Copies of this chain bind each other. A is one copy, B any other.
Amino acid sequence: MDSSTPASGISEGAARRRTGGRSARVRAEVLDAVGALLLEAGYDGLTVDAVAERAGVHRTTVYRRWRDVGGLLVDVLDAAADDTWTPPDTGSLEGDLAALNQEVYEALASGTGLTTALIAASFRSAEAAEALGRFWEDRYARCAVVVSRAAARGEIPAPADSRALLVAATAPVYHELLLLRTAPDPALPGRAAAATAAAARAGAFS
């Protein structure tokens, strides 16, 4: 997974990019420890004590600042959303959607990445589920420009429902890799992008 520009993937070590004082360093170490433990042992391996030990910070520091596993997961997701990511600008709606889908595909194709682990954790923790929903809504909001640019170029009728269009484009990638768990098909990101762009040109989202 390309940790610099996750569309819907969640970058490993996102918090590390933040600079700052001791408090920011502690946060980066703790959140990296959460990600490492999730990848190694999943939700069941994630405890406040294990995180504190892995991060090399006192457990009371973790309890005070994050309270519990739910609080840790929420902060991982909030940190992942706190970046400067912007969607691709390839010059066409289909190209932009294919590039977005490619990022999702790369985040999920292994089945063992942090994005997959966090999604699995969202079925265990209501707080994590909410934070993941916020992460994705923020991504859809940032990607609205992909749709408005397409409308401005006259590719699709305006106004278009950008969120519905973006969900339609990306959902098949999540569905195949996360729920159906089919073998990764490199043609999938482009195929889902092409179908959604065709629907959009036909006015399905306008």
* Closest CB in chain B relative to A63 CB, distance in Å: 23
How many subunits of this chain does the assembly comprise? 2
Q: Answer whether residue A175 sits at the interface, using C-beta atoms and an 8 A cutoff.
A: yes
Q: Is the interface of A mostly helix, strand, loop or mixed?
A: helix
| Residue contacts A-B, CB under 8 angstroms, 15 given | A119-B123, A120-B123, A123-B123, A129-B181, A132-B179, A167-B180, A168-B192, A168-B195, A170-B175, A171-B172, A171-B174, A171-B175, A196-B199, A199-B202, A202-B202
Collect the chain B residues with CB atoms within 8 Å of residue A202's CB.
198-199, 201-202
**In chain B, what residue has the closest Cβ to A196?**
B199
Interface size of A by Cβ–Cβ distance < 8 Å?
A: 36
Q: Answer whether residue A84 sits at the interface, using C-beta atoms and an 8 A cutoff.
A: no
**In chain B, what residue has the closest Cβ to A175?**
B171
Collect the chain B residues with CB atoms within 8 Å of residue A130's CB.
181
* Closest CB in chain B relative to A151 CB, distance in Å: 16
1/0 per residue, CB under 8 A from B, across A159-188: the answer is 000001001101110111011111000000
**In chain B, what residue has the closest Cβ to A172?**
B171
Interface residues in chain A, defined as those with a beta carbon under 8 Å from any beta carbon in chain B: 119-120, 122-123, 129-130, 132-133, 136-137, 164, 167-168, 170-172, 174-176, 178-182, 191-192, 194-196, 198-199, 201-205
Given contacts A198-B199, A202-B198, A205-B195, contact A133 B182 (CB under 8 A): yes
Collect the chain B residues with CB atoms within 8 Å of residue A120's CB.
123
